[in-house]
Structure 1
Amino acid sequence: MRASDAERERVAEALREAVAEGRLDMEEFEERLDAAYKARTHGELAPLVRDLPTPGARPPAPSAPEASGAVDWRSRIGGPATSRGAFAFWGGFNRRGTWTVGRKFTAFAMWGGGEIDLREARFESAETEIRCFTVMGGMGVTVPPELTVRVRGFGLMGGFGDRATGEGTPGSPRVTVTGFALMGGIGVERKARKAAKRAAEGGARKELG
């Protein structure tokens, strides 16, 4: 069936929302947007948003283990990546919230900065490599306490901080963070997930009560 201008615009809006949320990088976004405006049929439009949520849709509710603060890794490994890289030049980028990390994810920042937050992320593969490179810029990688992490980066007239290397809980993906910082800094640290914080705060209130 032939596609209408309104249907092409709806697909374009879904793509704009996806790139704003970090589900698509700029190269993927531009390729899909160009294809959307050139599409003539529904069959050409559908694949462009098949792996993206409907604009305005709510994210799926967490499972019982997730809601209680535990991590159900089985439900968070597998599925297509929503992002395989990030780039910043005199600006910044962020990848956070519920997104799916590619098996290999490459981030670069020059005269800018970036944030990669894995606390609520899903993983395309149980073995993941995150490559971080910065020139006169800064980058931060935040991981949850339950994740298995190895950090192997280095700095030249800069620093590559490691406050995260260690084993995670059973079934955790294995994430290796590599790369280098030239006259800049990259830091990898552990922070508790929001669900874990809420569960801990709830337990503390019960004890006090």
Structure 2
Amino acid sequence: MTDSSRAPAPRPRRNPELRASHADREAVAERLREAAGDGRIDLEELEERLERAFAAKTYGELEPLTADLPERADVIDPRTEEPLVLKSGAGDIAQNGYWVVPRRISAICRMGNIKIDFSQAECHQREVTLEINSGMGDVTIVVPHGWAVRPHGLRLTIGEVRNKATDPPHPGAPTLEITGRAGMGDVKIRYPNRWETRKRG
């Protein structure tokens, strides 16, 4: 016998003829971007649905745009909640191949170098924060084409930031926020090179 008192109440259906607000349109757009990031819809369909969402005037025009998408999951992957800490003294560290990207990453290097390669990583985050604390070592960051990279929060002493990952980001793709400080070492941001792409293939 099922305890109906524990069953969730059905979500009330809004009158499709009522006018939608800016917040309603933006909420639908956010769900569409998340669906594209999860691979449920492709970029062409995302652009088409976003155009319809921002042009919608009623709930009846908005509802079909997300009707075939699952509700947002409340389950949190513990692999994404625990920060990844990469700490190097004089040696080098390479975080590459397949790995699950958490929300926060710390790269700490004194004289050694750290390389963080996201090109084969599994990333379900809309925004990833990378905090750098480097002395003399360099930090190299490899991101897939389509990612957005923002190194605006990085403080420099003598080192410099060389950002070659400047192509326009894809809709719904992750954003990598880079913060922290760099002493004498450099921070290098780029896409995979030919050798890395050939090796992966």
**TM-score bracket relative to the smaller structure:** 0.5 to 0.7
What pairs with 1:1-209 in structure 2 (closer than 5 Å)?
73-74=37-38, 79=77, 80-81=79-80, 84-152=84-152, 153-191=154-192, 194=197
**1:37-69: CA deviation from partner (whole Å, max 9, x where unpaired):** xxxxxxxxxxxxxxxxxxxxxxxxxxxxxxxxx
Identity %: 23
- Distance in 1, matches of 2:87 and 2:119, equals 21
CA contact 1:163–1:190 (8 Å) conserved in 2: yes
| Aligned-residue offset at 1:166 | 4.8
Q: What letter is aligned with 1:102?
A: P
| Aligned-residue offset at 1:178 | 2.1
| Aligned-residue offset at 1:124 | 4.8
- Distance in 2, matches of 1:144 and 1:182, equals 27
Q: What letter is aligned with 1:86?
A: L
- Distance in 2, matches of 1:171 and 1:164, equals 17
| Aligned-residue offset at 1:115 | 0.4
SS at match of 2:145: coil
- Distance in 1, matches of 2:180 and 2:38, equals 28
- Distance in 1, matches of 2:167 and 2:180, equals 18
- Distance in 1, matches of 2:177 and 2:149, equals 6
Q: What letter is aligned with 1:87?
A: K
SS at match of 2:86: strand
CA contact 1:162–1:188 (8 Å) conserved in 2: yes
- Distance in 1, matches of 2:100 and 2:177, equals 16
Q: What letter is aligned with 1:146?
A: G
SS at match of 2:102: strand
More deviation, 159-168/148-157? 159-168
Which has the larger strand fraction?
Answer: 1
Give the root-mean-square deviation of aligned CA atoms. Answer: 2.7
Q: What letter is aligned with 1:187?
A: K
Partner of 1:206: none
| Aligned-residue offset at 1:144 | 1.3
Q: What letter is aligned with 2:156?
A: G
CA contact 2:37–2:124 (8 Å) conserved in 1: no
SS at match of 1:122: coil
Q: What letter is aligned with 1:161?
A: R
Larger Rg: 1 or 2? 2
- Distance in 2, matches of 1:161 and 1:154, equals 14
SS at match of 1:194: helix
- Distance in 1, matches of 2:167 and 2:177, equals 11
- Distance in 2, matches of 1:120 and 1:74, equals 15
- Distance in 2, matches of 1:107 and 1:124, equals 20
- Distance in 1, matches of 2:189 and 2:183, equals 16
